[in-house]
Chain A
Amino acid sequence: MSGSRLSSFLKGVAKKWEVLYFFVPGVLVILLITIYPIFNSIWLSVHETRYLRTTSFAGLGNFVKFLTDPSSLRTIKASLIYVTGTVALSLPLGFILAVILNRDLRFKGLLRSIIILPWIMAQVVTALLWKWLLDPVYGPVAYWIQRLGLGRADIFGNQYSSMFALILANVWRCYPLAMILILASFQTVPGELYEAARIDGASKLQSFTKITFPLIRSTILITTILLTLNTFNMVTLILVLTAGGPFGYTEVLALRVYRESFEIWNVGLASAAGLLILAFNILFSIVYISIIKQESLY
């Protein structure tokens, strides 16, 4: 009897106007702020622009111009290095820490809080912390390097060390996300599975590779995608820490789009390059959403 009462309730709620009441306001905001600007960007990207005005139709001219310019290819290369470096360091780091924090340890709560701290810092703040720590004149790191007899270290004056510093600062910021997500997925693995495996005589390593890993595989994939996109789309940290220097070696694609828009005011070209970033995101998001869809079937 409660079932029929319930289903009639649900049917009632399903009345069209009620669905609209729940969805329309939020969807409107998203349509106005997220969807409409995408179309506007497409419009801008196929036009020549002067300051904020479109002057003439350019077809795919902006895309061609951007993709054939050697300096923009360099920004794509810088993005790839930045993303690869960040993911390659923060994912294993987050994983190891998740494994450790999944154990019974004393002071676990405190240690976990400290380890998550970088994730709640603003990118501006993170960039400034590292800029000052790595300062070539007054910073302690430059001093330690000098003490080791490696000479005066101008970390931001060299393309390799500059990129490395950028990756380091970003790893500092990103690994807590990997850790939190992976740790959460460990906790979804039912304990009885381990118990059963133990009784069946499986070693710890075996129960990890045969039970834990298959169950958290999709989380690792999701984490990789989130870290990749987060890093690929990043402007703020890079702008404040290296500003793309030295000589544009750390100017990643997203920073280039920012400069093209708000420093050079070349809005058409910037929108074209921005859409390339969007395309990259869409590709990864399709994978992301299909994983989440699969998971939600369980």
Chain B
Amino acid sequence: MGLRKTKLLTDLVCYAVLLLMGAFVLVPLLWFVVTSLKPTADILSFPPRWIPKTVTSRHYATILSNPSIGRYYLNSFIVCLGTILVTLLLGSHIGYAAARVRFRGKNVLLFGILATSMVPAISILPALYIMSLRLSLHDTYLILILVYSAQNIPTVTWIMRGFFESISPELEEAALIDGCTRLQTLYRIIFPLAQPGLASSAILVFINVWNEWLIAQNLTISEHMQVVPVGLYNFIRDIGVEWGSFSAYTVVSIVPVVVLFLALQTRFIEGLTAGGLKG
């Protein structure tokens, strides 16, 4: 009886904390969503109104019919997919060798790779900028994909190593007996089994790249090369904040990551913990 009461009380406290945190998370988001649905006159009313008098989809219509915003989306998707392809391919190969192959200096190499993920972008950004100009890669998809890949390969390597280690080597052996070559075994048997790991890596990389601004802002310059966050930033810099269409643009910009996150949440969390914690 007493125990049950304590449990009930603890549960209540827990729910109270969670509700409070939920409010902390949602208030800034909701205020933006509400703003994006108000007519401009209502946005600039005082006191601020949480429940709009009239709801309008005008700001969304403005944003969605703006061709340059479509272009930003396209750019973001190209860079995200390109980076996912490169990091998954290169990172999973390193991860596989790390899990299966013994050779001298392996640990040094692996921890060296992990250490490079700790190099902050801001420290090397001027040098990267100069390099991109020298290689004539400034303002191209390729430079963004290369830089994002270098940033994300260590994490993907780490995630994939963990996955390959969890797959029993006996499978590879069986395939070898059946006459597969080693690389055939890797590509036909091991990679398909590692799909959860690849999915975790992919969603992690997607979210990182979709949200990145600092590098994209400085390694691209022309209007048609802008990715979504760069477009957002330039919107306020050039036009000043016109909060109606601006909030609509912001809401539209976070839709892909939110959808992906909700759909693949478990994989996302697995990736995040495998990338950050495990040895």
Most buried by B among A25, A37, A93, A274: A37
Q: How far is B102's CA from A292's CA once the two chains are assembled, in angstroms?
A: 20
B149: chain A residues at CB < 8 Å are 29, 33
Complex: chain A residue closest to B46, CB-CB:
A138
Interface residue ranges of B38-73 to A (CB < 8 Å): 43-48, 50
| Contact partner, B101, options A19, A184, A229, Cβ 8 Å | A19
- Interface 1/0 per residue, A256-298 and B, CB below 8 Å: 0110011000010011001101100110110011001111111
Could you list which residues of chain A lie within 8 angstroms of chain B, going by C-beta atoms?
2, 5-6, 9-10, 12-14, 18-19, 21-23, 25-27, 29-30, 32-38, 40-41, 44, 52, 93, 96-97, 100, 103, 105, 111, 113-118, 120-125, 128-130, 132-133, 137-140, 143, 172, 177, 180-181, 184-185, 219, 222, 226, 229, 233, 235-236, 240, 254, 257-258, 261-262, 267, 270-271, 274-275, 277-278, 281-282, 284-285, 288-289, 292-298
A32: chain B residues at CB < 8 Å are 146, 150
Let me know if B118 and A41 touch, CB within 8 A: no
Let me know if A278 and B173 touch, CB within 8 A: no
Could you list which residues of chain B lie within 8 angstroms of chain A, going by C-beta atoms?
10-11, 14-15, 17-18, 21-22, 24-29, 31-32, 35, 43-48, 50, 86, 89-91, 93-94, 96-97, 100-103, 109, 111, 113-116, 118-131, 133, 146-147, 149-151, 153-154, 157, 169-170, 172-173, 176-177, 182, 207, 210-214, 218, 229, 232-233, 236, 243, 246-247, 250, 253-254, 257-258, 261-262, 265, 268-269, 272-273, 276-279
Q: What is the minimal beta-carbon distance from A147 to any residue of chain B, in angstroms?
A: 8
B182: chain A residues at CB < 8 Å are 9, 12-13, 18
Q: How far is B86's CA from A198's CA once the two chains are assembled, in angstroms?
A: 50
Let me know if B169 and A30 touch, CB within 8 A: no
Let me know if B127 and A41 touch, CB within 8 A: yes
Q: How far is B256's CA from A11's CA once the two chains are assembled, in angstroms?
A: 45
Given A133-B27, A296-B278, A125 and B232 contact (CB-CB distance below 8 Å): yes
Let me know if A267 and B273 touch, CB within 8 A: no
Let me know if A14 and B101 touch, CB within 8 A: yes
Q: How far is B103's CA from A96's CA once the two chains are assembled, in angstroms?
A: 43
Let me know if B118 and A285 touch, CB within 8 A: yes
Given A34-B150, A117-B258, A258 and B213 contact (CB-CB distance below 8 Å): no
B116: chain A residues at CB < 8 Å are 30, 34-35
23 A-B residue contacts at CB 8 Å?
A: A2-B170, A5-B176, A12-B182, A13-B100, A13-B182, A23-B94, A38-B124, A40-B127, A40-B130, A115-B22, A117-B258, A122-B232, A122-B253, A124-B232, A138-B45, A172-B25, A219-B277, A235-B122, A258-B214, A284-B118, A295-B277, A295-B278, A296-B279
Q: How far is B247's CA from A12's CA once the two chains are assembled, in angstroms?
A: 58
Let me know if A125 and B122 touch, CB within 8 A: no
Complex: chain B residue closest to A226, CB-CB:
B276
Nearest 4 CB-CB pairings of A with B: A296-B279, A33-B150, A122-B211, A22-B97
Most buried by A among B91, B97, B172, B262: B97
